[in-house]
Protein backbone atom coordinates (compact mmCIF):
# COMPACT_ATOMS: atom_id res chain seq x y z
CA UNK A 1 0.00 0.00 0.00
CA UNK A 2 1.18 3.52 -0.77
CA UNK A 3 0.58 6.33 1.71
CA UNK A 4 1.40 10.03 1.74
CA UNK A 5 2.25 12.47 4.50
CA UNK A 6 2.11 16.27 4.56
CA UNK A 7 2.92 18.78 7.25
CA UNK A 8 2.89 22.53 7.71
CA UNK A 9 4.31 24.16 10.81
CA UNK A 10 2.42 27.47 10.92
CA UNK A 11 -1.18 28.62 10.51
CA UNK A 12 -0.18 30.76 7.53
CA UNK A 13 1.09 27.82 5.46
CA UNK A 14 -1.11 25.76 3.15
CA UNK A 15 -1.12 22.00 2.67
CA UNK A 16 -2.53 22.27 -0.86
CA UNK A 17 0.81 22.25 -2.69
CA UNK A 18 1.96 19.11 -0.89
CA UNK A 19 -1.39 17.30 -1.18
CA UNK A 20 -1.68 18.11 -4.90
CA UNK A 21 1.82 16.73 -5.54
CA UNK A 22 0.99 13.46 -3.75
CA UNK A 23 -2.31 13.05 -5.62
CA UNK A 24 -0.50 13.70 -8.92
CA UNK A 25 1.99 11.00 -7.91
CA UNK A 26 -0.97 8.62 -7.71
CA UNK A 27 -1.83 8.43 -4.02
CA UNK A 28 -5.50 8.24 -3.10
CA UNK A 29 -6.65 11.20 -1.04
CA UNK A 30 -7.92 8.94 1.74
CA UNK A 31 -4.38 7.55 2.09
CA UNK A 32 -2.82 10.96 2.67
CA UNK A 33 -2.21 11.89 6.31
CA UNK A 34 -1.69 15.52 7.32
CA UNK A 35 -0.59 17.62 10.26
CA UNK A 36 -1.43 21.30 9.99
CA UNK A 37 0.34 22.62 13.08
CA UNK A 38 3.03 20.53 14.67
CA UNK A 39 3.66 20.52 18.39
CA UNK A 40 6.88 21.01 20.28
CA UNK A 41 7.55 17.27 20.18
CA UNK A 42 7.49 14.88 17.24
CA UNK A 43 4.17 13.28 18.27
CA UNK A 44 1.47 14.50 15.90
CA UNK A 45 -2.01 13.14 15.24
CA UNK A 46 -1.60 12.65 11.50
CA UNK A 47 1.83 11.11 11.83
CA UNK A 48 0.78 8.81 14.68
CA UNK A 49 -2.30 7.67 12.73
CA UNK A 50 -0.10 7.01 9.70
CA UNK A 51 2.39 4.98 11.72
CA UNK A 52 -0.49 2.84 13.00
CA UNK A 53 -1.51 1.79 9.47
CA UNK A 54 1.94 1.38 7.92
CA UNK A 55 3.09 -2.21 7.52
CA UNK A 56 6.26 -3.86 6.24
CA UNK A 57 6.42 -3.50 2.46
CA UNK A 58 4.32 -0.31 2.36
CA UNK A 59 5.60 2.87 0.75
CA UNK A 60 5.50 6.31 2.32
CA UNK A 61 5.67 9.32 -0.01
CA UNK A 62 6.41 12.92 1.01
CA UNK A 63 6.83 15.91 -1.24
CA UNK A 64 9.82 17.20 0.74
CA UNK A 65 11.91 15.03 3.02
CA UNK A 66 12.09 17.65 5.79
CA UNK A 67 8.29 17.52 6.15
CA UNK A 68 8.69 14.27 8.10
CA UNK A 69 10.21 15.94 11.18
CA UNK A 70 10.56 19.36 12.75
CA UNK A 71 14.35 19.24 12.49
CA UNK A 72 17.20 17.15 11.13
CA UNK A 73 17.48 14.91 14.21
CA UNK A 74 13.76 14.05 14.30
CA UNK A 75 13.67 13.40 10.55
CA UNK A 76 16.71 11.12 10.75
CA UNK A 77 15.17 9.16 13.64
CA UNK A 78 11.91 8.69 11.72
CA UNK A 79 13.69 7.57 8.55
CA UNK A 80 15.69 4.99 10.51
CA UNK A 81 12.50 3.81 12.24
CA UNK A 82 10.77 3.30 8.89
CA UNK A 83 13.81 1.51 7.44
CA UNK A 84 13.85 -0.90 10.39
CA UNK A 85 10.15 -1.65 9.78
CA UNK A 86 10.86 -2.31 6.06
CA UNK A 87 8.83 0.69 4.90
CA UNK A 88 9.98 2.30 1.66
CA UNK A 89 10.37 6.09 1.66
CA UNK A 90 9.97 8.24 -1.45
CA UNK A 91 10.74 11.97 -1.34
CA UNK A 92 9.51 13.75 -4.47
CA UNK A 93 12.05 16.56 -4.04
CA UNK A 94 14.95 14.06 -3.87
CA UNK A 95 14.24 11.34 -6.48
CA UNK A 96 17.59 9.62 -5.86
CA UNK A 97 17.05 9.34 -2.07
CA UNK A 98 15.57 5.83 -2.13
CA UNK A 99 17.93 4.28 -4.67
CA UNK A 100 21.29 5.76 -3.73
CA UNK A 101 21.00 6.61 -0.03
CA UNK A 102 18.31 4.64 1.79
CA UNK A 103 19.20 1.48 -0.12
CA UNK A 104 22.77 1.67 1.17
CA UNK A 105 21.69 2.43 4.74
CA UNK A 106 19.66 -0.80 4.72
CA UNK A 107 22.72 -2.90 3.90
CA UNK A 108 25.12 -4.31 6.43
CA UNK A 109 27.36 -1.73 8.03
CA UNK A 110 30.30 -0.77 5.91
CA UNK A 111 31.83 2.08 3.96
CA UNK A 112 28.82 2.62 1.66
CA UNK A 113 26.40 2.57 4.60
CA UNK A 114 28.45 5.18 6.44
CA UNK A 115 28.73 7.27 3.26
CA UNK A 116 24.97 7.05 2.64
CA UNK A 117 24.20 8.03 6.24
CA UNK A 118 26.54 11.01 5.90
CA UNK A 119 24.85 12.03 2.64
CA UNK A 120 21.43 11.78 4.27
CA UNK A 121 22.61 13.96 7.14
CA UNK A 122 23.96 16.49 4.64
CA UNK A 123 20.71 16.53 2.65
CA UNK A 124 18.67 17.10 5.77
CA UNK A 125 21.03 19.86 6.90
CA UNK A 126 20.62 21.64 3.54
CA UNK A 127 16.82 21.18 3.66
CA UNK A 128 16.71 22.58 7.20
CA UNK A 129 18.81 25.59 6.23
CA UNK A 130 16.62 26.26 3.19
CA UNK A 131 13.50 26.06 5.33
CA UNK A 132 14.98 28.50 7.84
CA UNK A 133 15.90 30.89 5.01
CA UNK A 134 12.34 30.80 3.67
CA UNK A 135 10.90 31.48 7.13
CA UNK A 136 13.36 34.34 7.66
CA UNK A 137 12.56 35.87 4.26
CA UNK A 138 8.83 35.55 4.97
CA UNK A 139 9.29 37.24 8.34
CA UNK A 140 11.37 40.07 6.82
CA UNK A 141 8.83 40.53 4.02
CA UNK A 142 5.96 40.72 6.48
CA UNK A 143 7.84 43.24 8.64
CA UNK A 144 8.54 45.45 5.62
CA UNK A 145 4.92 45.19 4.51
CA UNK A 146 3.73 46.20 7.99
CA UNK A 147 6.10 49.19 7.91
CA UNK A 148 4.59 50.14 4.56
CA UNK A 149 1.11 50.03 6.07
CA UNK A 150 -0.06 46.68 4.71
CA UNK A 151 -2.57 45.02 7.02
CA UNK A 152 -2.75 41.26 7.50
CA UNK A 153 -5.57 39.04 8.68
CA UNK A 154 -9.26 39.20 8.00
CA UNK A 155 -10.78 42.48 7.07
CA UNK A 156 -12.68 43.95 10.00
CA UNK A 157 -16.43 43.70 9.56
CA UNK A 158 -18.20 46.98 8.96
CA UNK A 159 -20.51 47.65 11.90
CA UNK A 160 -23.84 49.41 11.76
CA UNK A 161 -22.52 52.16 14.04
CA UNK A 162 -19.51 52.87 11.84
CA UNK A 163 -21.58 52.88 8.64
CA UNK A 164 -24.24 55.24 10.00
CA UNK A 165 -21.67 57.61 11.55
CA UNK A 166 -19.53 57.77 8.38
CA UNK A 167 -22.59 58.08 6.16
CA UNK A 168 -24.04 61.00 8.16
CA UNK A 169 -20.71 62.80 8.46
CA UNK A 170 -19.96 62.56 4.76
CA UNK A 171 -23.53 63.43 3.76
CA UNK A 172 -23.17 66.72 5.67
CA UNK A 173 -20.11 67.47 3.55
CA UNK A 174 -22.18 66.67 0.45
CA UNK A 175 -20.02 63.67 -0.46
CA UNK A 176 -21.21 61.31 -3.18
CA UNK A 177 -22.16 57.66 -2.58
CA UNK A 178 -18.98 56.65 -4.40
CA UNK A 179 -16.84 58.69 -2.01
CA UNK A 180 -18.61 57.11 0.97
CA UNK A 181 -17.97 53.64 -0.51
CA UNK A 182 -14.27 54.42 -0.92
CA UNK A 183 -14.03 55.80 2.59
CA UNK A 184 -15.58 52.66 4.06
CA UNK A 185 -13.78 50.30 1.67
CA UNK A 186 -16.97 48.64 0.45
CA UNK A 187 -18.49 47.93 -2.94
CA UNK A 188 -21.53 49.63 -4.42
CA UNK A 189 -23.90 46.74 -3.61
CA UNK A 190 -22.77 46.56 0.02
CA UNK A 191 -23.21 50.32 0.35
CA UNK A 192 -26.82 50.19 -0.83
CA UNK A 193 -27.56 47.09 1.28
CA UNK A 194 -26.32 48.89 4.41
CA UNK A 195 -28.16 52.09 3.46
CA UNK A 196 -31.45 50.23 2.95
CA UNK A 197 -31.00 48.37 6.24
CA UNK A 198 -29.74 51.15 8.54
CA UNK A 199 -30.66 54.56 7.10
CA UNK A 200 -34.26 55.57 7.77
User: What pLDDT, in 10s, does the model give residues 63-114?
Assistant: 988 788 777 777 878 888 888 888 888 888 777 665 545 555 555 554 445 5
pLDDT at 22 (0 to 100): 94
Please give the residue that has the higher pLDDT: either 182 or 146.
Answer: 182
Query: Which residues make Cβ contacts (< 8 Å) with residue 68, sequence separation at least 6?
Result: 5, 7, 62, 74, 75, 78, 79
Indicate whether 145 pLDDT > 90. Answer: no
Do the Cβ atoms of 78 and 37 come closer than 8 Å? no
Query: Which residues make Cβ contacts (< 8 Å) with residue 167, sequence separation at least 6?
Result: 180, 194, 195, 199
Instruction: Point out the catalytic residue in the list 9, 14, 49, 121.
Output: 9
* pTM over the 0.75 mark: no
Distance CA(16)–CA(154), nearest Å, equals 20
Please give the residue that has the higher pLDDT: either 194 or 100.
Answer: 194
Q: Determine the distance from the C-alpha atom of residue 21 to the mean position of all C-alpha atoms in its chain, rounded to a whole number.
A: 13
Indicate whether 156 pLDDT > 60. Answer: no
Three-state DSSP at 3 gives strand
Indicate whether 134 pLDDT > 70. Answer: no
Q: Is 32 left (phi over 0), alpha (psi -120 to 50) or beta?
A: beta
Distance CA(34)–CA(19), nearest Å, equals 9
9 has catalytic annotation: yes
Please give the residue that has the higher pLDDT: either 143 or 153.
Answer: 143
Q: Which of 39-43, 97-101, 141-145 has the lowest mean pLDDT?
A: 39-43
pLDDT at 110 (0 to 100): 46
Strand spans (E) along the chain: 2-7, 32-35, 59-62, 88-91
**Radius of gyration for the chain, computed over Cα atoms and rounded to the nearest angstrom:** 26
Highest averaged pLDDT of the listed ranges 6-20, 94-108, 121-135 = 6-20
Q: Determine the distance from the C-alpha atom of residue 196 to the mean position of all C-alpha atoms in its chain, rounded to a whole number.
A: 42
* Helix-helix angle 177-184:188-198, to 10 degrees: 100
Amino acid sequence: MVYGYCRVSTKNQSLKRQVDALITYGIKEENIYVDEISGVVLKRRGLESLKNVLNAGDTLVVKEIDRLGRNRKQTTELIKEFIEKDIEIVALDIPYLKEFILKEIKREKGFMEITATTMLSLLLEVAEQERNKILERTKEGKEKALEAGVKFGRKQKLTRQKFVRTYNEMLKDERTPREIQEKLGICKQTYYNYKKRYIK
